[in-house]
Chains A and B, each alone.
Chain A
């Protein structure tokens, strides 16, 4: 008997790129994050073949969750075809044998930057968001050890203070992306990359959401059917962006989050930020049998 017969054949890398110990650590931290919704869990962020700030946090979580039967979708600013999204997606399938898709309904694992798809995610799907700055208290407390104590004490008064001063200065809340939200009535998290439009989609959602910051080495989660409430004053309601009345100039669809495209004449045109929804709508209009799933927003209103 030789040693070679007892060992596995040599492979250039472990399954899913990360080594087993890295994945085990991440899994433990992900379970912890699910157990305490919205609470930031520190983890040892590993090297991945991508620069910090390009989604390394999300990538590590996705790599850990991958299996050969996974179907992955990667979104960058709402689009599936941007360079970053395309290369992350092909990397994921190369290291795991998982199938690639652009279709939100078909995907089992969605890694995203900036957007949550407009079509409702269903139970069993996992959304992984790449987070640049996981700490909602950073603008009010530069010392991270103190910020952690403030989280422990649920001392979030100063976050409201920021909103208060925005209303005093500008007459409305100016927070665009990263609108601080209370998860499960306890921890405030920053749903960092996504616009206000997408925050209500996390509330009592059927899917599991992971938010992971590779550079900051923190991950947190919103488990299915968990309350996510944006911070608001009792007399100043939470508002999403005024995109309900805009129409996409390519697909003719209206009532969703749009990208503004400046035109030569100084005006602007709008197109669907969720590019694959636009593609589906165009195909459908051309008579192809493409199914558009139920959407979170209908006619610009949260359904």
Chain B
């Protein structure tokens, strides 16, 4: 029997201990290891990402953070490891999927923004065409709706619509990133991966792109994983931070915790160097 106490005349207050939010994680990665010859790129890395949260991954160059992101996008398979996404009709280790299922999954459920737009965009096609390609892979075959959905996605990533039929090669770096972003969110993916999305942009454009990302995250409650060596970006964006070094996770925790009270020696250096 739950003890109850009457507050005032009508209100009742439950005296149960506060309930924990028990949403299962969207992304579960356990024990992922990968070697390239003698180089250990990842060693026994595990990661959890909860729905609607932003996980930041920081680390120096060569720490394995981009490799980890590539694994999350199923572009590479690890030597050992398990990767699951809590999505309907998607059971089992995703590393075990065949090429076809993998491509479908990447196109429809996972969005990715690369540091280098050349990697993520078809430079000889138009910007709206780049977004349309995603929709076409997912089976959209109506021209009118391709056009409309492309426009919506570009609008959501705050791309100037009068340039939607320009080729990305003719656009500035910031705009190219917006096209990549529009392409990534066109199918409303469950997971958005960002690989150094603002590196190479000047500070003001960087701020604008981060603004857009922040707004997307707020509006759509998109789950994001953002990789950066820039602590400023991670601090602005991430709820939780994972610090990587030499293919290992050295520390993880809430953003504030990591930045205010770093425990690991390397994290301390990193935070200190930033300040």
Contact = CB atoms under 8 A, between A and B. Distances in A.
Interface of A: 153-155, 157-158, 160-161, 164-165, 167-169, 233-236
A236 B125 contact: no
B141 interface: yes
A165 B147 CA distance: 10
B133 A157 contact: yes
A229 to B, nearest CB: 12
Contact of B136 (A154, A157, A167, A235): A157
B59 interface: no
15 contacts: A153-B99, A155-B103, A158-B136, A161-B125, A161-B133, A161-B136, A164-B129, A165-B126, A168-B126, A168-B128, A168-B165, A169-B165, A233-B143, A234-B143, A235-B142
A158 B103 CA distance: 14
B49 interface: no
A158 B137 CA distance: 8
A157 B141 contact: no
B128 to A, nearest CB: 7
A20 to B, nearest CB: 40
Nearest to A155: B103
Contacts of B100: 153-154
A153 B103 contact: yes
Contacts of A158: 122, 133, 136
A161 B144 contact: no
B162 to A, nearest CB: 14
Contacts of A236: 143
A233 B103 contact: no
Contacts of A160: 136, 141
Contacts of A235: 142-144
Nearest to B139: A157
B69 to A, nearest CB: 23
**Which 10 pairs of residues, A with B, have the shortest CB-CB distance?**
A157-B136, A233-B143, A157-B137, A234-B142, A160-B136, A234-B141, A235-B142, A236-B143, A165-B129, A161-B133
A109 B125 CA distance: 42
Nearest to A153: B100
Contacts of A165: 125-126, 129
Interface of B: 99-100, 103, 122, 125-126, 128-129, 132-133, 136-137, 141-144, 146-147, 165
A190 to B, nearest CB: 18
A155 B137 CA distance: 7
Nearest to B137: A157
A167 B133 contact: no
Most B Cβ at <10 Å: residue of A153, A154, A168 = A168
Nearest to B124: A140
A87 to B, nearest CB: 41
Given A233-B143, A234-B142, A168 B133 contact: no
A165 B100 CA distance: 26
Given A160-B136, A164-B132, 16 more contacts: A153-B100, A153-B103, A157-B136, A158-B122, A160-B141, A161-B122, A161-B129, A161-B133, A161-B136, A164-B143, A164-B146, A168-B129, A168-B165, A234-B141, A235-B143, A236-B143
B131 to A, nearest CB: 10
A157 B129 CA distance: 11
Most A Cβ at <10 Å: residue of B99, B122, B129, B165 = B129
A294 B206 CA distance: 67
Contacts of B129: 161, 164-165, 168
Nearest to A152: B99
A161 B132 CA distance: 7
A153 to B, nearest CB: 6
Contacts of B165: 168-169
Nearest to B100: A153
Nearest to A233: B143
B165 to A, nearest CB: 6
A179 B49 CA distance: 46
A158 B133 CA distance: 6
A201 to B, nearest CB: 24
A176 to B, nearest CB: 19
B142 A233 contact: yes
Most A Cβ at <10 Å: residue of B125, B132, B136, B137 = B136
A216 B206 CA distance: 48
Contacts of A233: 141-143, 146
Contacts of B144: 235
B146 to A, nearest CB: 6
A235 B141 CA distance: 8
A167 B143 contact: yes
Contacts of A161: 122, 125, 129, 132-133, 136
A180 B256 CA distance: 56
Most A Cβ at <10 Å: residue of B99, B142, B143 = B143
Contacts of A168: 126, 128-129, 147, 165
Nearest to A165: B129
Nearest to A236: B143
A158 B129 CA distance: 9
A64 B211 CA distance: 67
Contacts of B122: 158, 161
